[in-house]
Structure 1
């Protein structure tokens, strides 16, 4: 290739052409052929843009820079395109003359050649011809006209007096630019990013010839999030970078609107898996990893590592794995109890699955105060609770959650026993008694906290009153500042309560 040719100001790419060629070969790109053609005659603008963009991206990747600076690539390509006069696009055969040669060109990748989408898609009654192939997602920007992001775009314009640029729009979607209620992940991209890192983009986004995504903004933004994050491996980033898309040809506004409406208003009738199904799959995989470990006793760090591996496999968080493990543990215990009591296994299974969420509520509360903490010490509590759960004497998971209060209150606990005894013949009365037990236990718990505060206040007042002034010298500055902050806060609350009672002024010693 002659570097004096006006079509060759590719200094950045030429420096790494050997490495880029190796990467291109893996992607099925014949760079030698395309570069040879460019050496003899200037390329048309669309083909040149496709070639130079691809080459610069590959070259950047080849030198180890995984996160391509898209704006720099585009600036380089624009400079190349403007360097020489170029022939019209129709003078160079592309193999797809029926399609407009836009900014984003489809590529063959991963064994898939660029081809027509068959059968031709129909959206909201309108036929839209498309082709499918792969693109580097770093060359796609989210669509600023997307209705999902419109409120955030409007707020950005109000705040900064201009529309957000492509990179800023991406940061709005990822939460890196805080708008709205300041939520860290307003469009829930992070769970989607983990899923894409694990298995790629499964549903092709729909883009125009110029790369405007009329469907798939979240998938594109989540894929870009993977590329920007240090959390993912090179393999995961490569999986997120190259995504299959459907690209429209010449389309009308009505056709584009039909795409948007069909994909966002029409229900696909897909029924999500019940939580108990997902939980048991997660726990089964976790248990398999535990059984494969040569160590009989695993440390907390080793268990967390296994949970992280399971979480990554299912694109969820470690906390969700822990929650499922605990829920399945109590669900299995519930089933064992009912089957041992003579219940039909199939009926027990159906009932367990129908109230599966309750097995999260059953362990609610602070450590040491959960109702499950008392099962071993008092098996009767376990029997009462499991019977009432099975027989539908409870009407919600919230009531199950409140059982730790009832179990700790003798009088409320007696009411629960009474409800258990009458549940078969007088179900309605038993349900009302459960409600009474919960309400009474809550009221007594609140009253007990009030008494505790009163006793503490008396002791605190006595202790502070008896403390000599010189005693504070032994305390550090940070402790003194914290004590002052707490006392000033308490004083404000006390003055407010006294004011509510009629601005009562109680004299203190020395008045």
Structure 2
């Protein structure tokens, strides 16, 4: 062993000891970083990599401890030991993120300073703009958005995730205990938007290559490149992406300003109301149908819906387009009734339709017999009555719409609804009373349905008993054991009911 190797081994041994003094767990984690590596045989690059991993372990532990972080003196003492080991190994700290972005000339555009200098959180921060190959960028493995996931992965595997594993976390595919199956980061939806429109907002890199902003956007670009559900043209659209990178003269304060500005400050952008989006989708669909110039096949209509869905970045699944079409068609009937029949102001009616747009989702559901839409179509006065109640805010909530199918032929319930529709509202108390009347009308329908179910149950039981009595021994032997157990359990319940009500179930006697 050379003298320098001996010094390096001693510095690393002191590093282990320092970590154990601070925390037994931390000492074990630091030692685990080196694993079975033989210090005398470490190359300078290997030593740099391992010592940088030590820094990451300590930082991770600081975040994990939360209310009881490492003391400033403890942290500085440990970092001094790391620096001593680095100096002995003759290596420099590795720059996280890979250093300057690998800018390339693309589409005739060369890397250039952004002018005027952008301002982040009241601070001018100089950046360079240029194209990079998407696959040359990695997600930031210390991003706050996935901090809990990263800590959990580190604890489970005693290492940081690879770039591939980071993508799996962002795609919600990597299973971690306690993480729900919900798509937490909604990468596929973002990917569909980017595939259609391109990357409209450049990710921002620190001077050393870390992603300060844009982890989801970069993950979405990878999602497009790695999935067969996107066209060659869409993949080409994200093969190279425009990024901003802070200059080598940037400071930690510059980085903080970027993070605060893009993650804490509201840009006050307001999404379009669903009514507006649905009308645009509907108009596009209607125009495409009219251009066909006549009757079209179901397959052609499905293709038109797919084309419309892709145009508005809704993906290849056409359910949203179909839902919007039905909602707008019902909303147009609502508007026609109030503008033409009731002679109300067109713009007031359209404002009301936009405000109540979610109601049209429920009103347009159930086109088969017994459904809400079917019931409205069977009874024009009933539909107009519902439109009147909706316009005058006399439904408490949109979920009440589902029960309309229970009362469209019930005279008692309809009488209550007509009373509610014709009663003027002069105060909030009046509105509360009227809304209660609407609720009472719907309750009548629910009670009647419950009575019908009770009668139906009696008929089904009578039929089932006859079926049982007619079964042969051979047929009973063929029944699955599990079903026999369920039948036995049900019969026990019936037997208990009979025993408790002997008079009610007593066989009639002949006089």
Mark yes or no: TM-score above 0.5. yes
Q: Alpha carbons of 1:400 and 1:128: their partners in 2 closer, same or farther (altered >3 Å)?
A: same
Secondary structure of the 2:475 match is helix
Matched, 1:275 2:279: no
Q: Alpha carbons of 1:495 and 1:145: their partners in 2 closer, same or farther (altered >3 Å)?
A: farther
Q: What is the CA-CA distance between 1:404 and the residue it aligns to?
A: 2.0
Q: Decide whether the 8 Å contact of 1:134 with 1:242 is kept in 2.
A: yes
Question: How do residues 462-481 of structure 1 correspond to structure 2 at under 5 angstroms?
Answer: 462-471=466-475, 481=480
Q: Which residue of 2 aligns with 1:207?
A: 205
Q: Decide whether the 8 Å contact of 2:100 with 2:209 is kept in 1.
A: yes
Alpha-carbon displacement from aligned partner over 1:177-236 (angstroms, at most 9, x marks no partner): 234444263211111111111121000000124432110111000010000111111111
Q: What is the CA-CA distance between 1:414 and the residue it aligns to?
A: 3.0
Q: What is the CA-CA distance between 1:365 and the residue it aligns to?
A: 4.6
Q: Decide whether the 8 Å contact of 2:102 with 2:136 is kept in 1.
A: no
**Which of 457, 460, 483 is the aligned partner of 2:461?**
457
Question: How do residues 310-329 of structure 1 correspond to structure 2 at under 5 angstroms?
Answer: 310-317=308-315, 318-329=318-329
Secondary structure of the 2:242 match is strand
Q: What is the CA-CA distance between 1:330 and the residue it aligns to?
A: 0.5
Q: Which residue of 1 aligns with 2:445?
A: 441
**Structure-1 separation of matches of 2:483 and 2:111:** 68
Q: Alpha carbons of 1:395 and 1:112: their partners in 2 closer, same or farther (altered >3 Å)?
A: farther
Secondary structure of the 1:307 match is helix
**Structure-2 separation of matches of 1:493 and 1:453:** 15
Q: Alpha carbons of 1:377 and 1:364: their partners in 2 closer, same or farther (altered >3 Å)?
A: closer
**Structure-2 separation of matches of 1:424 and 1:335:** 21
Q: Alpha carbons of 1:238 and 1:451: their partners in 2 closer, same or farther (altered >3 Å)?
A: same
CA-atom RMSD, angstroms? Answer: 3.2
Task: After superposing the two structures, state which structure 1 stretch, 218-227 or 167-176, moved more.
Answer: 167-176
Q: Which residue of 2 aligns with 1:242?
A: 240
Q: Alpha carbons of 1:234 and 1:380: their partners in 2 closer, same or farther (altered >3 Å)?
A: same
Question: How do residues 88-487 of structure 1 correspond to structure 2 at under 5 angstroms?
Answer: 102=99, 104-179=101-176, 180-183=178-181, 185-250=183-248, 251-294=250-293, 296-317=294-315, 318-341=318-341, 342-365=343-366, 367-407=368-408, 409-423=410-424, 427-471=431-475, 481=480, 485=482
Q: What is the CA-CA distance between 1:488 and the residue it aligns to?
A: 4.2
**Structure-1 separation of matches of 2:484 and 2:287:** 54
Q: Alpha carbons of 1:325 and 1:123: their partners in 2 closer, same or farther (altered >3 Å)?
A: same
Secondary structure of the 2:170 match is helix
How does the TM-score come out when normalised to structure 1?
0.71
Secondary structure of the 1:346 match is helix
Task: After superposing the two structures, state which structure 1 stretch, 454-463 or 220-229, moved more.
Answer: 454-463
Q: What is the CA-CA distance between 1:112 and the residue it aligns to?
A: 2.6
**Structure-2 separation of matches of 1:245 and 1:502:** 77
Secondary structure of the 1:376 match is helix
Q: Decide whether the 8 Å contact of 2:130 with 2:243 is kept in 1.
A: yes
**Structure-1 separation of matches of 2:229 and 2:499:** 58
Question: How do residues 49-64 of structure 1 correspond to structure 2 at under 5 angstroms?
Answer: none
Q: What is the CA-CA distance between 1:324 and the residue it aligns to?
A: 0.6
Secondary structure of the 1:246 match is strand
Alpha-carbon displacement from aligned partner over 1:229-262 (angstroms, at most 9, x marks no partner): 1111111101022111101123333322222221
Q: What is the CA-CA distance between 1:373 and the residue it aligns to?
A: 0.8
How many residue pairs match? The answer is 401
How does the TM-score come out when normalised to structure 2?
0.71
Q: Decide whether the 8 Å contact of 1:141 with 1:170 is kept in 2.
A: no
